[in-house]
């Protein structure tokens, strides 16, 4: 009886109970069964105390509240649990989390409380690049194996390259079930007829298939998590190689947080033992805790012309532009290590194998996320044998200073990077840091006192004041710009205009915009905003349309147009504009809510209900 119970219990619990009723209910059911069996043996006289004991035990099993919430996902202030499924192999959750500025929110996908994907800028960037980098650098991919579906972002980006076959292996069906919570990252890729889904363990699939691939994209979970170090072993990489075509490419995301410097070297050393041509990319378009390790199955190397050719694909180009990657130069600036650099940094030493899984034992020891991130990033920067272009060097120095909380150095390095940058990375990242850092106001005020003629420092501080609801402070900070009648860069003209509008000074806002040294979509949209506040909605509509003629892809401007059309009763035209916005940004909460309201007004109640259901799925 004991043997039968020991065999049947785990089987029934794992495959028949937990996937349907969850861990807590399963525990309660089995406790109840034990009670029933106990009654048969102890007799009815002892029924009452036994029943009391069972009730007391059941009361200790939490069914709701912060304790259970903490079991399923990380507890962060302002977070909301949107989805939870307890599966055979893992508990999968989706949470809505406030960003560091306190202005917006993003969603994250966790497996056993470990983040694997999400919709913040850092995660979106690494998910897209994990697909685009290896496929672009291969140059002629016909078949792709993607391991680990996550939110579907990498899978979707890979599908844009139009290869005849795209296979995805995902061990947890609950992850696939959660895909509808991330319409803005996967864009419904599960319905793509070229996509083939296999619910299986990665190694099991690779051992069982006879297919070979041009590209293998391995989106494994962090090696610190129990059992995942096996997907960073020599044996696993050899298995991948056996399923790759000659001159194929393999890549995997490599975190630089919650890993010791030695463990990071072990992973790269192990990878290079199987694939000598290893390259490491760091996506400096964002301050990222991730790198991408990539290698060719052969003697091929990096060819920038292949990237240039791949960017002729309009869908690929637009997908990369969502994370501000617009050129081959942008992508090549991410290259941090060549094969010789990797060999030089890692040297000879231990490798991670199935027989000696050193990573499985050492990786969990590195618990301090921020400290390990800082140390590993410093090691990578200091181990390079070649320096990047000056703007990139200053950008990396600014990101390093962020990790060590040296705010004054952060802004100085971003300023130096911005002066010669060919892209907007330094300016955008500096603005983001100014909005997030607790000491930004104090630091910028000190820097402005030291360098009163530095207009850029003033614009950063003014943005913080506007977000904090202090337009008077913003105008005071921008006084040197406001009092000078010389032409302004469009960005500064729009910022000054926003400060005036927030302070109720529409006339001065329009005069500030007249000083812009060129007309851009942002300038016209700001003019439209001023017209709207004057209640001249017809003029606002015209100006929004003019802005979109300059930049048709600006969904933020199109949403303003849609709202204004709806307010003026042009509901059909508003619907058209909302649909264009939602096609590009299917999780835009404001667009979805307003679209639903307009649909209801014109009698499309069922369609409106579907939109409301979608809003609920993504946390609205």
Q: State pLDDT tens for residues 467-500.
A: 999 999 999 999 999 998 899 999 999 999 999 9
The SS3 of residue 376 is: helix
Q: Which token pair is 594?
A: 């307003």
Q: What φ, ψ does residue 532 adopt, rounded to 5°?
A: -60, -40
Separation CA 255–CA 222 (nearest Å): 7
Report, as an integer, the average pLDDT of 146-156.
96
pTM here is: 0.90
How far does CA 409 lie from the centroid of its chain? 27
Residue 599 pLDDT class (50, 70, 90 cuts): very high
Mean of pLDDT values over 156-181: 96
Interval 338-356 mean pLDDT:
95
Name the one residue in this structure whose structure tokens are 């962090």: 222
Domains and CATH numbers, the chain: 2-61 (no CATH), 118-383 (3.40.50.150), 531-620 (1.25.40.10)
Two tokens, residue 30: 């089995």
pLDDT category of residue 71 using cuts at 50, 70 and 90: low
pLDDT tens digit sequence for 407-448: 999 999 999 999 999 999 999 999 999 999 999 999 999 999
Task: Provide the mean pLDDT of the chain.
Answer: 91
Tokens of 179: 């895909």
Distance CA(179)–CA(479), nearest Å, equals: 49
In the beta sheet, which residues pair with residue 290? 255
- For residues 81-101, average pLDDT: 86
Interatomic CA distance for residues 530 and 532, integer angstroms: 5
DSSP 474-487: HHHHTHHHHT--S-
Which carries the bigger pLDDT value, residue 60 or residue 65?
A: 60
* Tally of helices (H runs) and strands (E runs) in the chain: 32, 12
Closest CA to 274 of 234, 325, 226, 314: 234
SS3 of 144, please?
A: strand
User: Can you give the pLDDT at residue 410?
Assistant: 97
Q: Residues of 248-262 as b/e, b for ≥16 C-beta within 10 angstroms?
A: bbbbbbbbbbbbebe
The pLDDT score that the predictor gives to residue 441 is 96
Side-by-side strand order, sheet with 91-98:
80-86, 91-98, 105-111, 114-118
pLDDT at res. 65: 45
Q: How far apart are CA 540 and CA 542, in angstroms?
A: 5
State how beta strands 114-118 and 143-147 pair: unpaired
Cβ-in-10-Å burial (0-12, 13-18, 19+) of 197 comes to: middle
Q: At CA 150, angle to CA 147 and CA 156, rounded to 5?
A: 80
Token match 């069906």: residue?
A: 173
Predicted confidence at residue 469, as pLDDT, reads 95
Chain segment 519-576, per-residue pLDDT in tens: 999 999 999 999 999 999 999 999 999 999 999 999 999 999 999 999 999 999 999 9
Q: What pLDDT was estimated at residue 205?
A: 96
Q: Is the pLDDT of residue 338 over 50?
A: yes
* Better pLDDT: 364 or 11: 364
562 and 593 Cβ atoms separated by less than 8 Å: no
Higher pLDDT among residues 79 and 457, named by residue: 457
The 10s digit of each residue's pLDDT in 245-254 is 999 999 999 9
User: What local confidence, expressed as pLDDT, does residue 74 receive?
Assistant: 57
Which pLDDT score, from 0 to 100, does residue 66 have?
47
Report the pLDDT averaged over residues 202-214. Answer: 96
Q: What percent of the chain has pLDDT over 90?
A: 77
Per-residue pLDDT at 619: 86
pLDDT in tens, 450-469: 999 999 999 999 999 999 99
DSSP H helical ranges for 139-279: 153-159, 173-177, 183-186, 202-208, 234-242, 261-274
Q: What is the mean pLDDT of residues 173-188?
A: 95
Tokens of 511: 């005069």
- H-helix or E-strand spanning residue 360: helix 358-362
Least confident range from 71-75, 162-166, 271-275, 593-597: namely: 71-75
Residue 601's pLDDT is 96
3-class secondary-structure state, position 331 = helix
With a cut of 50, say whether residue 34 has pLDDT above it: yes
Of the ranges 48-57, 63-72, 88-97, which is most confident?
A: 88-97
Please report the pLDDT score of residue 47 as a whole number.
Answer: 59
pLDDT-derived band of residue 161, with 50, 70 and 90 as boundaries? very high
Q: Do 325 and 277 form a contact (C-beta atoms < 8 A)? A: no
Give the pLDDT of residue 67: 47
Position 367 confidence tier, pLDDT thresholds 50, 70, 90: confident
Per-residue pLDDT at 6: 75
pLDDT of residue 335: 97
Backbone angles phi, psi at 249, to 5 degrees: -130, 145
């Amino acid at each position: 009886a004991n043997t039968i119970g020991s065999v049947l219990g785990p089987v029934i619990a794992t495959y028949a109970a937990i996937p349907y009723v969850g861990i807590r209910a399963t525990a309660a059911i089995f406790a109840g069964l034990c009670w029933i069996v106990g009654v048969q043996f102890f007799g009815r006289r002892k029924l009452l105390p036994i029943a009391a004991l069972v009730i007391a035990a059941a009361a200790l099993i939490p069914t709701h509240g912060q304790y259970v919430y903490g079991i399923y996902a990380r507890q962060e202030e302002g977070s909301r649990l949107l989805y939870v499924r307890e599966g055979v192999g893992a508990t999968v959750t989706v949470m809505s989390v406030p960003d560091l500025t306190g202005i917006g929110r993003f969603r994250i996908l966790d497996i056993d409380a470990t983040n694997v994907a999400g919709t913040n800028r850092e995660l979106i960037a690494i998910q897209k690049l994990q697909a685009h980098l290896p496929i672009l650098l291969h140059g002629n991919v016909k078949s792709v194996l993607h391991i680990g579906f996550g939110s579907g972002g990498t899978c979707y980006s890979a599908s844009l390259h139009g290869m005849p076959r795209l296979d995805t292996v995902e061990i947890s069906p609950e992850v696939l079930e959660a895909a509808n919570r991330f319409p803005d990252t996967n864009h419904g890729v599960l319905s793509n007829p070229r996509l083939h889904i296999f619910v299986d363990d990665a190694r099991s699939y690779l051992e069982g298939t006879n297919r070979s691939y041009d590209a293998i994209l391995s989106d494994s979970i962090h090696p610190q998590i129990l059992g995942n170090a096996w997907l960073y072993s020599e044996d696993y990489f050899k298995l991948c190689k056996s399923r790759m075509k000659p001159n194929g490419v393999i890549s995997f995301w490599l975190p630089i947080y919650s890993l010791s410097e030695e463990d990071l070297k072990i992973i790269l050393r192990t990878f290079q033992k199987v694939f000598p041509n290893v390259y490491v990319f760091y996506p400096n378009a964002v301050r990222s805790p991730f790198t991408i390790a990539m290698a060719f199955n052969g003697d091929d190397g990096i060819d920038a012309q292949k990237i240039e050719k791949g960017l002729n694909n309009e869908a690929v180009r637009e997908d990369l532009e969502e994370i501000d990657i617009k050129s081959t130069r942008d992508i090549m600036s991410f290259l941090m290590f060549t094969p010789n650099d990797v060999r030089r940094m890692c040297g000879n030493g231990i490798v991670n194998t199935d027989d000696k899984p050193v990573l499985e034992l050492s990786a969990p020891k590195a618990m301090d996320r921020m400290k390990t991130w800082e140390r590993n990033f410093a090691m990578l920067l200091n181990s390079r044998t070649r320096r990047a272009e000056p703007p990139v060097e200053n950008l990396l120095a600014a990101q390093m200073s962020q990790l060590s909380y040296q705010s004054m150095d952060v802004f100085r390095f971003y300023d130096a990077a911005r002066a010669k940058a060919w892209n907007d990375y330094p300016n955008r990242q500096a603005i983001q840091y100014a909005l997030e850092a607790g000491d930004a106001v104090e630091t910028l005020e000190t820097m402005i006192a030291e360098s009163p003629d530095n207009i850029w420092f003033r614009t950063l501080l003014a943005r913080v004041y506007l977000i904090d609801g202090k337009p008077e402070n913003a105008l005071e900070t921008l006084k040197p710009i406001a009092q000078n009648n010389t032409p302004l860069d469009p960005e500064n003209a729009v910022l000054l205009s926003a400060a005036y509008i927030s302070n109720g000074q529409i006339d001065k806002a329009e005069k500030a915009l007249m000083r812009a040294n060129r007309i851009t979509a942002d300038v016209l949209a700001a003019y439209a905003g001023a017209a709207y506040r004057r209640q001249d909605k017809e003029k606002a509509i015209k100006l929004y349309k003019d802005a979109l003629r300059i930049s048709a892809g600006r969904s933020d401007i199109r949403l303003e147009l849609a709202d204004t059309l709806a307010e003026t009763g042009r509901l059909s035209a508003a619907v058209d504009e909302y649909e264009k916005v939602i096609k590009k940004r299917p999780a835009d909460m404001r667009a979805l809510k307003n679209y639903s309201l307009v649909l209801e007004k014109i009698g499309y109640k069922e369609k409106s209900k579907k939109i409301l259901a979608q809003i609920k799925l993504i946390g609205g």
